[in-house]
Amino acid sequence: MQIYKNFELNKQIKTIDDWLSECPPKQKMKHWKDGRSAKELARYMTMKHPDVPFELNNILCKYSGADQIIVAPEYVTRLKSKGFGIGEGRNHDSLVLMKDAVVGIEAKADEGLGEYYSNININDTHNHQLRYRGLYSAMFNDNIDGKVRYQLVSASVGTILEAIDRKKTNALLLIITFLKDGSYDKRKVKTNLNDIEYFLDKFEKRNDGSLLAKIAVDNNIRFYIEHISINLDANTMAI
């Protein structure tokens, strides 16, 4: 596994310090704390570099040959050029490129998954309609479901768009929850897990487990979502 800023080969990342220097989180030191998702993802991805962390490798191998794995931390998928309104693009905590797959990684401790659609004034401006309504409509054919988290929609669409642009067969949204004693609220983690499950249940599924998201089906992409929890104290994984 190789890690680069924006997939630029002259900007290689090998250590957690490299990660912070080259690809800091949006609010940098505010989010760069032990037990919080930004720092723990960086630690996890670099701790055995260039080897792939065991849990991650087990998942990636299901979607592509693992002979070439390239990671870009804090990678941004531009949405404006795709007709989804002005403003920020989709900020992946990391984007992973493989021979046959694109993997968008969303890391959490107990941080939320963005606003519920019921709390967003979708019709406030034309730009809101393009962004919030447009992304939802790219995934689903139904009227907007207020119980869906916006971040799950934007993460899914961003990952699928990267698979389309890079001509990959598979797109995987991988949500990783890092659990360190004293650093997370169990109720918030449970809420995230319930919201992920609700989101997954909205999709019809093929026999291979891929999800029938509208934009993926229209572009012949196999789309998947997986979640894992990493117990940082026990150094074990729970699915």
15-24: pLDDT as tens digits: 999 999 999 9
Q: Is 145 or 124 the better-scoring residue by pLDDT?
A: 145
State both tokens at 190: 């449970």
Mean pLDDT, range 110-114, rounded to an integer: 96
Q: Is the pLDDT of residue 236 over 80?
A: no
How far apart, in whole angstroms, are the C-alpha atoms of residue 169 and residue 62? Answer: 13
Mean pLDDT of the chain: 94
Q: How many structural domains are present in the chain?
A: 1
- CA Rg, the chain, in Å? 17
CA 135 – CA 146 distance, rounded (Å)? 14
Q: Per residue in 26-76, pLDDT tens?
A: 877 777 999 999 999 999 999 999 999 999 999 999 999 878 999 999 999
The pLDDT of residue 178 = 97
Percentage helix, strand, coil for the chain under 3-state DSSP, each rounded to 5: 35, 25, 40
Domain that holds residue 47: 2-238
Residue 239 has what pLDDT? 35
Q: Assign 59 to helix, strand or coil.
A: helix
Return the DSSP state at 131: I
Q: Do the beta carbons of residue 80 and residue 86 sit within 8 Å?
A: yes
Q: How confident is the model at residue 235 (pLDDT cuts 50, 70, 90)?
A: low
Q: What is the pTM of this model?
A: 0.95
